[in-house]
Structure 1
Amino acid sequence: MMKKQPKIGLIIIGDEIISGKRQDKHLVQANALLHPRGLQLNWVRLLGDEPEFLTQTLRESFAQEGVVFCFGGIGATPDDRTRQSAALALGLPIERHSQAVAEIEAQFGEDAYPQRIHMAEYPKGAVIIPNFYNRVPGFSIQNHHFMPGFPMMAKPMMEWVLDHYYVDYQQPPTIEKAIRLMNGQESEWVDFMQQFELTFPNLRLFSLPSISEEDKRTIELGVEGNESDVLKGYEALVAEAQRRKSEWLPVL
């Protein structure tokens, strides 16, 4: 029996993301992993490497229910502070994890010392997340899952976590269907949208307005949910657009 989905959040860590030196790829990648499993992302936070604020944010996150995937800051250089901040946030000592030590030694041999081995130091009680790229593990503790900032490493690690810990929450993926209203104003559709949500409580209704460089306005009005409900909701959107004699196109 499928369980009710927990709220799922991302914490993406790194001064290089905040400064714009690197563009984040974790958000798109995480959604690509969650959606086929019928899971939905609820929130995202982007943080720099400043340790006090990172610790404060993690302390708040640990206090909430739900599942959190954290990316970045678990390396061995002085600006990688996520492991230490997680320990402080939980009020736990940080210690070397024997399985992580074995993985790092197997990968690097004598070159694991004196620096790389610090990447095996986690809050006490953490368990490892296998790293299929270079064998330097991430770690999990209290429904928080800490992975490297490199998306090519984080992707298979997040997949492993989802299928190892959260398979009971997975369900058939949702679908979307939408129409594009030409030259419309969102304000003209508010009353309809409010009534629509009462009529179709199992659907997520979305409205995405756009303005082109030529100042032409469009609205992508659509629904997301299971297929049978979406088809009924989509028919209601089309019927309303036709009733209003609005110019519209299907979004393919």
Structure 2
Amino acid sequence: MSERRFGLIVIGDELLSGKRRDKHFPRVVELLDARGLELSWVRFIGDDAELVERNLRESFASGDIVFSCGGIGATPDDRTRECAARVLGVPLTRHPEGIAELEARFGEPVAQERRLRLVEFPEGAAIIPNPVNRVPGFAIREHYFVPGFPNMAWPMIEWVLDRHYAYLHAPGRHTEQAIHVDGARESDVIPLMERFVAAHPELRLSCLPSTDSDHFALELGIRGPAAAVEAGMAEIRRDVDRLGFRWEAVSLIRRDDS
């Protein structure tokens, strides 16, 4: 795993009400995965200033690299920029590079107040270029604020990852393997798992039991550095054999080196 943790905040009442389905979470996982990186956490928040501030206060204090999608438009429910400014204790200011981007998009000068609101960012922020309509996002303290529109947000996140964090990229660094264990309950493999976790802190071990009440089965999976995964899975297979359970390899759809 990378030494840096990545987080994702997705903001919007429409997601929590069910009017729209989130697409950012799976896509950000894919964007990180392609670069050998991982998402450590995700939060979904409505357009509630108090909640947004509370979560930003925690994420700014975490030292994590954080992407935030949504809430940076010009309508009254777009509160993300002002919440970030309050948490950081800085004023909102109109960003000169942001104004230049708006002028390139809408013509010079930008006279409409509501459009200028789009480039009011916390003092000290840098802009994130928007390849779709040139209305930028903003970056401050390794937090990257982009629009809620996927066609804008995703290339902007890619730009950040490739421009600022290329030194962390390691495609193929991680892999995962899993086996299906027939007839086993979770309780049957807990001692096995406890030994494995203690012996291999560099690997993530998962256990997914079957929900079919008529037949017991589970999936044991590990994820981490490729060489360690290969050796670790061989160890797990031997331990499952000793317990007397039948197993078979599971084909995993998502891989870091795909």
TM range (shorter): over 0.9
3-state secondary structure, aligned to 1:206: strand
> Could you report, residue by residue, the CA deviation over 1:188-208 in whole angstroms, capped at 9, with x for unpaired residues?
111101111222222111112
Could you tell me how far 1:112 is from its partner in structure 2? 6.9
1:5/1:39 contact within 8 Å kept: no
2:71/2:78 contact within 8 Å kept: yes
Once the two structures are superposed, the pairs formed by residues 9-158 of structure 1 within 5 Å of their partners are 9-109=7-107, 113-158=112-157
Which consecutive residues of structure 2, in runs of 5 or more, have no partner in the other structure? 252-258
Give the root-mean-square deviation of aligned CA atoms. 1.8
3-state secondary structure, aligned to 2:135: coil
Distance 2:236 2:89 in 1: 52
> Could you report, residue by residue, the CA deviation over 1:199-252 in whole angstroms, capped at 9, with x for unpaired residues?
22221111122314x744431101111211111111112222222221222111
> Could you report, residue by residue, the CA deviation over 1:57-116 in whole angstroms, capped at 9, with x for unpaired residues?
212221221111111000011111101111111111001111111112211237772322
1:96/1:122 contact within 8 Å kept: yes
Distance 1:128 1:105 in 2: 15
Change in 2 beyond 3 A, CA 1:112/1:75: farther
2:2/2:38 contact within 8 Å kept: no
> Could you report, residue by residue, the CA deviation over 1:2-39 in whole angstroms, capped at 9, with x for unpaired residues?
x9621211111000111111111111111101112221
Question: Structure 2 counterpart of 1:174, which letter?
Answer: H
1:104/1:112 contact within 8 Å kept: no
Distance 1:141 1:39 in 2: 21
TM-score by length of 1: 0.92
1:105/1:112 contact within 8 Å kept: no
After the TM superposition, which of the residue ranges 82-91 and 57-66 deviates more from structure 2? 57-66
1:11/1:70 contact within 8 Å kept: yes
3-state secondary structure, aligned to 2:3: coil
3-state secondary structure, aligned to 1:145: strand
> Could you report, residue by residue, the CA deviation over 1:135-158 in whole angstroms, capped at 9, with x for unpaired residues?
111100011110111122111111
Change in 2 beyond 3 A, CA 1:127/1:179: same
Change in 2 beyond 3 A, CA 1:112/1:185: farther
Which consecutive residues of structure 1, in runs of 5 or more, have no partner in the other structure? none
> Could you report, residue by residue, the CA deviation over 1:35-66 in whole angstroms, capped at 9, with x for unpaired residues?
12221211111111111221222122212211
Distance 2:54 2:204 in 1: 33
TM-score by length of 2: 0.90
Distance 2:221 2:124 in 1: 45
Question: Structure 2 counterpart of 1:36, which letter?
Answer: A
3-state secondary structure, aligned to 1:115: helix
Partner of 1:183: 183
3-state secondary structure, aligned to 2:237: helix
Runs in 1 of length 4+ with deviation above 6 angstroms? none
1:84/1:123 contact within 8 Å kept: yes
Partner of 1:203: 203
